Amino acid sequence: MPDNINIPPFAANSCPALVVAAPSSGSGKTTVVAALARYFRNQGKKVRVFKTGPDFIDPCFLEFASGAPVYQLDLWMAGDQSEIALAHCRQLLAQAAVESDLILIEGVMGMFDGPCSSADIAAIFNIPVLAVIDAKAMAQTFGAIAHGLASYRDDIKMFGVVANRVGSANHAQMLEEALPKHLAFCGWLAKDQKIELPERHLGLVQAQELTDLNDRLNHAAELISQSFTEQGQQIPLPAAVDFTFPQALPAPELVTNVQSTPALTGKVIAIARDKSFSFIYQANLDFLRQQGAELVFFAPIDGDALPECNALYLPGGYPELNIEPLAANQALIQQIKQHIDAEKPALAECGGMIYLMQSLTTLATDNIAARTENLCGILDGKVAMQPKLAALGMVSLPALMSDDGQIPRGHTFHYSKTETDLPVWQQPVSLRGRKTDPVWKQKKLVASYVHWYFPSCPEFFVGLFGGMLVADSE
C-alpha cells in the first residue's frame, strides 16, 4: 500500500462491487467472474467487469459475458500507484458506477501477489473480496484457506467464498460447513467440461474462436445460481461501494496550441485487428481517441489492404497460428513497407513485431511438421517459436521519463525468440531492474515484445503516433 499520497477532492458515485480473488492462478477466477456477470446480466442487471493485471484474453470472455467493454485496473501499469495512477483508476471505476448495477473486478495471480495485487485493489478502493478456491481433492482444509485469505491483512473485507471444481452437492455441503462462521458461502461450481474454457500457450483460447461460448456462459450462470435457487433464494448483490473521482481531473489530452486542440487531431491511425492481432487494451483505444485521432481497423488475415492513414498500430496476438494467410497477403506487406519507408509513424508490439520480421518458424506438433514462412522482411531478424515461455513480466522504460515524471509501462509475455543484429534503441527493465528484450527503432517504426499501456506516459505515445520521434538515418 502506498503511503502519504496526496488525494485531491472527490465527487462520489456508488455501486455494488466485488474484487474476485483466489489463492493462486488457475483457481477459476475467470470462469466464476464470467458466470456471475452472465447470471446478473440475465437478471436484467447492467454489469461492468475490470481485470487486474496485463491480461488480454480473459477480458474478451468477460466482455462477452457482461456485454460491456472490459478495462484493466492496474495501478502499476497506470503509474506505479502515483496520484496520476490513482486518479486514472478512480475515474474508470466512477464512470462504470454511473451506468452499472454491479462492478466485478477479476484479480490477478494469487490474492496477495504482484506489484498491484488483488488485495491492494480491494484495500485502496474499499471493495469487498469474493474468494474463489479450487476445492478439488479438498475437504475441511477449504475453511483453513478461506480463513487465511480473510485474515492475512487487516485492511481487507471478505464478502464470501465460492468453491470451484466441486465433486458433488454433498462435497459442497462439507465445504460450506468447514468455513468459519463469519465467512459466507457464496455458491459453487462443479467440475464440468461444458464450462471449462480451453487453453493454449499464452492462456485461454480466444473468445471469438469458440462458437458455443454463449451456451457455455449461460450454463455456468445456471450452475453457480443453483445452490441459492434450491433454497428459494437469488444470488445476493454486495453492498454499494462509494467510487470517488477528482472533480477537476487534468485534461485527458495533450494539446498542440493555446486553443487546446488535442495533439493527434486530424491524424488517422490504422489498427490491425483480427485473430492474429487482438491483444489491444480498451484504454489504449480510448487514449488515442481522446488525443483527437480517428481510428480505422483492418484484418490482415482476411486479405485487407492498409487503410489510408497517418500512423500504423500492429498489436500483439497469435501470428504463429495464422502464418499462411499473413504471408499470403503480399499486397498488405508492400503497403506496410511503403508506410515505413515514407517515415510514417508505426508501433509494433510482440506479434505485430514478429509480423514485420524476415521469417517465423513454427513448432512441430504430433500432426504438423515445423515450417518457416517469410513475412514482411521490414525488420532484419528471424523469429522461432519455443516450447516453453521465453519471457513474462511487467516492464518500463525509465530512460524515457516525461517532464511530469511519467514512464512508458507495459508487459511482455511470449513463447518466441528473435535473432537479430538490429541496434538496440531503448532497453526496458523489469520490476527488479533487470534488462529485458530490447526496443528497436527503424525510421519512425518502434518495435518490441512489449505490450504498452498508453495512459502510463501520454507524452511518449502522443509523440510516437504523432510522428514527433526523430527518424533514424538509413
In this prediction, residue 216 carries a pLDDT of 86
Is 350 labeled as catalytic in the residue annotation? Answer: yes
Instruction: Give the residue from 244, 259, 287 where a domain finishes.
Output: 244
Q: What integer pLDDT is reported at residue 249 of this predicted model?
A: 44
Residue type, 217: L
CB 180 within 8 A of CB 161: no
Would residue 251 count as lying in a domain?
no
Task: State which residues form the domain around 221.
Answer: 10-244
**Residues 232, 307: one domain?**
no
List all residues 6 or more positions away from 231 whose beta carbon is below 8 Å from its beta carbon. Answer: none
The answer to whether position 263 is within a domain reads no
Sign of CA dihedral 222, 225, 227, 230: negative
Please check whether residues 356 and 221 belong to one and the same domain. no
Position 393 in a domain: yes
Residues 6 or more apart from 120 whose CB is under 8 A from it? 1, 75, 81
Q: What is the pLDDT of residues 188-235, one digit of tens each?
A: 998 875 666 655 444 456 656 666 788 889 988 988 888 665 555 677
Domain membership of residue 129 (yes or no) is yes
Residues 109 and 165 in one domain: yes
Q: How many domains does the chain have?
A: 2
Rounded to whole angstroms, the maximal C-alpha distance in the chain is 73
Query: Distance between CA 211 and CA 196 in Å, rounded?
Result: 14
Same-domain status, 294 and 236: no
pLDDT on residue 405: 87
Residues 6+ apart with CB under 8 A from 318: 202, 206, 275, 276, 278, 351
- Are 48 and 135 contained in the same domain? yes
pLDDT tens-digit readout, 265-295: 999 999 999 989 999 999 999 999 999 999 9
Check whether residue 279 and residue 231 sit in a common domain.
Answer: no
List the CATH number of the domain containing 396. 3.40.50.880
> What local confidence, expressed as pLDDT, does residue 200 receive?
46
pLDDT at 10: 46
Among 102, 146, 93, residue whose Cα is nearest residue 124: 93
Does 447 reside within a domain? yes
Backbone angles phi, psi at 458, to 5 degrees: -55, -40
Q: Is residue 50 one of the residues assigned to a domain?
A: yes
Among 185, 211, 244, give the residue marking a domain's end: 244
In a domain, 227, yes or no: yes
- Which of 180, 211, 244 delimits the end of a domain? 244
413 in the same domain as 346: yes
pLDDT in tens, 285-344: 999 999 999 999 999 999 999 999 999 999 999 898 889 999 999 999 999 999 999 999
The reply to whether 199 and 307 lie within a common domain is no
Q: Is residue 1 part of a domain?
A: no
Q: Are residues 101 and 225 in the same domain?
A: yes
CATH code, 80 = 3.40.50.300
Q: Which whole-number Å values give the CA distances from 297 to 204, 271, 374, in the listed order?
A: 24, 5, 24
pLDDT at residue 391, as a whole number: 82
Q: One digit per residue, pLDDT tens: the chain, 474 residues?
A: 333 333 344 455 899 999 999 999 989 999 999 999 999 999 999 999 999 988 788 888 899 999 999 999 999 988 876 788 888 899 899 999 988 999 999 999 999 998 889 999 999 999 999 999 999 999 999 999 999 999 999 999 999 999 999 999 999 999 999 999 999 898 899 887 566 665 544 445 665 666 678 888 998 898 888 866 555 567 778 889 998 765 544 444 454 444 478 999 999 999 999 989 999 999 999 999 999 999 999 999 999 999 999 999 999 998 988 899 999 999 999 999 999 999 999 999 999 999 999 999 988 877 778 889 999 999 999 999 998 888 888 999 999 998 888 999 999 998 899 999 999 999 999 988 899 999 999 999 999 999 999 999 999 999 999 998 765 543
- Do 96 and 228 reside in the same domain of the chain? yes
Looking at residue 49, its pLDDT comes to 97
The pLDDT score that the predictor gives to residue 356 is 97
Give Cα 129 to chain centroid, integer Å.
Answer: 20
Cell digits of residue 317: 496476438
Rounded distance between C-alpha atoms, residue 143 and residue 109, angstroms:
20
Catalytic residue among 15, 116, 186, 350: 350
Strand-pair partners of 271: 297, 313
Task: Clarify whether residues 178 and 287 are in a common domain.
Answer: no
Within this chain, do residues 228 and 288 fall inside the same structural domain, yes or no? Answer: no
